[in-house]
A and B are shown apart, each in its own frame.
Chain A
Amino acid sequence: NAGVTQTPKFRVLKTGQSMTLLCAQDMNHEYMYWYRQDPGMGLRLIHYSVGEGTTAKGEVPDGYNVSRLKKQNFLLGLESAAPSQTSVYFCASSYRQGGEQFFGPGTRLTVL
Chain B
Amino acid sequence: EDQVTQSPEALRLQEGESSSLNCSYTVSGLRGLFWYRQDPGKGPEFLFTLYSAGEEKEKERLKATLTKKESFLHITAPKPEDSATYLCAVQGRYTGFQKLVFGTGTRLLVSP
- Chain A residues within 8 Å of B, Cβ to Cβ: 4, 31, 33, 40-45, 48, 50, 56, 58-59, 90, 92, 97-98, 100-106
Complex contact B102–A42 (CB within 8 A): yes
Q: By the criterion of a CB under 8 Å from any partner CB, how many residues of chain B are at the interface?
A: 24
Q: Is B87 an interface residue (CB 8 A)?
A: yes
B50 to chain A, nearest CB (A): 11
Q: Pick the contact of B102: A40, A43, A48, A104 (CB < 8 A).
A: A43
B65 sits at the interface (CB 8 A): no
Question: What's the dominant secondary structure at chain B's contact region?
Answer: strand
Rank and list the top 6 A-B pairs by shortest CB-CB distance, nearest first: A42-B102, A103-B43, A98-B97, A43-B102, A97-B97, A100-B46
Query: Do the beta carbons of A100 and B34 come within 8 Å of each other?
Result: yes
Residues of A close to B4: CB separation below 8 A: 42
A-B contact pairs, 29 of them (CB 8 A): A4-B43, A31-B98, A40-B104, A42-B4, A42-B87, A42-B104, A42-B105, A43-B87, A43-B89, A43-B102, A44-B102, A45-B99, A50-B98, A56-B98, A58-B99, A90-B43, A90-B44, A92-B43, A98-B31, A98-B32, A98-B97, A100-B34, A100-B46, A100-B49, A101-B34, A101-B46, A103-B43, A103-B46, A106-B41
Q: Is B59 an interface residue (CB 8 A)?
A: no
Contact A41 B104 (CB under 8 A): yes
Contact status B100-A43, CB under 8 Å: yes
Nearest-neighbour CB distance to chain B for A94, whole angstroms, equals 9
Which A residues are in CB contact (< 8 Å) with B58? none
Interface pair A42/B45, CB less than 8 Å apart: no
Question: What's the minimum C-beta distance from B98 to chain A, rounded to whole angstroms?
Answer: 5
- Tell me, in angstroms, the Cα distance from A100 to B105 when the chains sit together: 17
A40 to B34, CA, bound (A): 19
- Taking a contact as CB atoms under 8 Å apart, the answer to whether B42 and A42 are in contact is no
B83 adjacent to chain A (CB < 8 Å)? no
